[in-house]
Amino acid sequence: MVTASGGPIQAAGGNGVCARVALRIEQDLVMTRNAFDATLELINRDPANPLTDILVSVQVFDAEGHDVTERFGQRPPVVSGLGAVDGSGSLGVNSSGRASFILVPTSEAAPEGPTVYFVGGALGYRVGGTRLEIPLTAAPITVFPDPRLRIKYFHQRDVLSDDPFTRNIIGTTIPYSLAVMVQNAGRGEAKNVRLISGQPQIIENERGLLIGFKIIATEVAGRSLSPSLTADFGRIDPGRISIGRWLLTSTLQGLFIDYKAKFEHLDSLGKTNLSLIDEVTIHEMIRMVQAGGIFEDNKPDFLVNGDRDPDDMPDHLYMSDGSTNLVSVVRSATADGAPAAGDFTVALTADMPSGWTYLRVPDPANGAYRLARVTRSDGRQVAMDTNAWQTDRTFIGRTDRPIRENILHLLDYDSTGSYTLTYEFLPPDDFTMPESFVTALPAFSTAQIPIRWTGADFGGGQIVSCDIYVEENRGPFIP
């Protein structure tokens, strides 16, 4: 089980927070792993004497004959017809029984490549007052290397949604991302890998604020799996990486100030070296970006704030191939003017160092126009909405409300330092609330009651999701 959690701060009037909320998302990591079924069948053809005090021990030997049973975990045997195989079992006359032992290799069983072992043991029982001990002929098995998974979570810091302190205006809810990078650093295949998520849970809300989080979509390797909460990664070969993400919404704006991720290997065998997960980490993500040019692989990359600083600027770029790059920050630039209805272009210059650089400056449009295109002086385009974007507020934490300011953000590699910004008109404001309609129910019905509903946004927008609440026998409305 993997748990990722964070605590957002919601801003209030003046100085001070509206509420601190602890959010937890629990996920089960499920995959197919190597295991062996060692089955013993007993047949008692003696018409007069039962077999009693049956004891079976299973041992594993290496090619040199050394006992290496500790390299395997053993599940409790599944017994039929024998009662037990711990020394108290029995088998009646003219009858048969069997015991099945599941052997699970640990990480030490085949660290480098396929390894042959021999499964044997001993059978003991009493018949007619005589105790017999019989060695079991060892049978060969081949153990293949295990996968070793390294899991990196990237939790988006800023959550853009409704500002609770703007009366009569409902802000736009913008989905934010929780992404995961699953890297197989082992020598074996990871088979049928799935991450199963539950809906986010608010486990602490110091002021009882009405706030909701919801997972609205899932993606794996760029494929939309909506509306499933299960991210199915399938097979991850040795040395390969697979990336998935969940899109979430919040009913109120805020930012996450703390992140924790942990995993627990749930197994009854009592061995610590059966887990196929080497590590789980979580990182504060500023934005999911796209490292283009020579780095282009059509997979997302992650702009991260890893080193704490007063302004929480990004400092690392986690690439989809598992590598990490340092990111420089530039906070000043020169624009030749502001866009206007007759001229939507702005020339922007900045002193940009080599390598990856994050540019954060006041937006020349100051919120009056939408950025449509960013072109470098060498003709290359900067990817819009991933590597170039606009914001209208800055979350600063420290118990302060967000600052209302229009900022231009840009991430680039080996920048020329000169850009042409092309703007366009903003879409008209939509002040019309979406509406939903539930088809009227009949006065009398059977035990199975069909409920049908529709929804529409007559202001020109689109409905992302619906919440349906039902009350039964005049009880409270519940989802």
**Over 80: is that where the pLDDT of 372 sits?**
yes
- Taking the domain 323-427, which CATH number applies? 2.60.40
**Domain range annotation of the chain:** 36-143, 323-427
pLDDT band at 164 (very low <50, low <70, confident <90, very high): low
User: Which helix (H) or strand (E) covers residue 99, if one does?
Assistant: strand 95-105
- Indicate the average pLDDT of the chain: 87
pLDDT band at 219 (very low <50, low <70, confident <90, very high): confident
DSSP string, 224-277: E-TT-SEEEEEEE-TT-EEEEEEEEEESS-EEEEEEEEEE----TT--TT---E
Instruction: Name the residue with higher pLDDT: 137 or 3.
Output: 137
Domain 323-427 in the same topology as domain 36-143 = yes
Residue 331: C-alpha distances to residues 357, 443, 467 (Å)? 10, 66, 42
pLDDT band at 268 (very low <50, low <70, confident <90, very high): low
**pLDDT for 444:** 81
Residue 441: C-alpha distances to residues 230, 446, 452, 469 (Å)? 34, 11, 9, 15
Compute the average pLDDT of residues 79-96: 96
Compute the average pLDDT of residues 161-177: 67
Instruction: Name the residue with higher pLDDT: 228 or 359.
Output: 359
Compute the average pLDDT of residues 276-285: 92
Q: What is the pLDDT of residues 300-309, one digit of tens each?
A: 999 999 998 8
Residue in the structure block whose two tokens are 């960013």: 374
pLDDT band at 96 (very low <50, low <70, confident <90, very high): very high
**pLDDT for 14:** 43
CA–CA separation, 81 and 76 (whole Å): 16
The CA dihedral of 88, 93, 94, 98, to the nearest 10 degrees, is 0
Instruction: Name the residue with higher pLDDT: 225 or 111.
Output: 111
CATH value of 36-143 in 1.10.3470, 2.60.40, 1.10.760, 2.60.120: 2.60.40
- CA 37 to chain CA centroid, nearest Å: 32
Pairing state between β 149-156 and 277-289: parallel
**Over 90: is that where the pLDDT of 172 sits?**
no
Among the residue ranges 159-173, 386-400, 429-443, the one predicted with the least confidence is 159-173
Among the residue ranges 2-6, 35-39, 141-145, the one predicted with the least confidence is 2-6
Residue 322: C-alpha distances to residues 179, 278, 332 (Å)? 14, 15, 31
Q: What is the pLDDT of residues 384-420, one digit of tens each?
A: 999 999 999 898 766 667 889 999 999 999 999 999 9
Q: What is the pLDDT of residues 359-371, one digit of tens each?
A: 999 999 999 999 9
Among the residue ranges 36-40, 102-106, 124-128, 263-267, the one predicted with the least confidence is 263-267
Residue 243: C-alpha distances to residues 219, 319, 351, 420 (Å)? 8, 11, 34, 33
**Over 80: is that where the pLDDT of 339 sits?**
yes
Give the global pTM. 0.80
**pLDDT for 474:** 83
Q: What is the pLDDT of residues 411-434, one digit of tens each?
A: 999 999 999 999 999 987 777 778
Reduced to 3 states, what is the DSSP secondary structure of residue 294?
Answer: helix
Rg (CA), the chain: 31
**Over 50: is that where the pLDDT of 12 sits?**
no
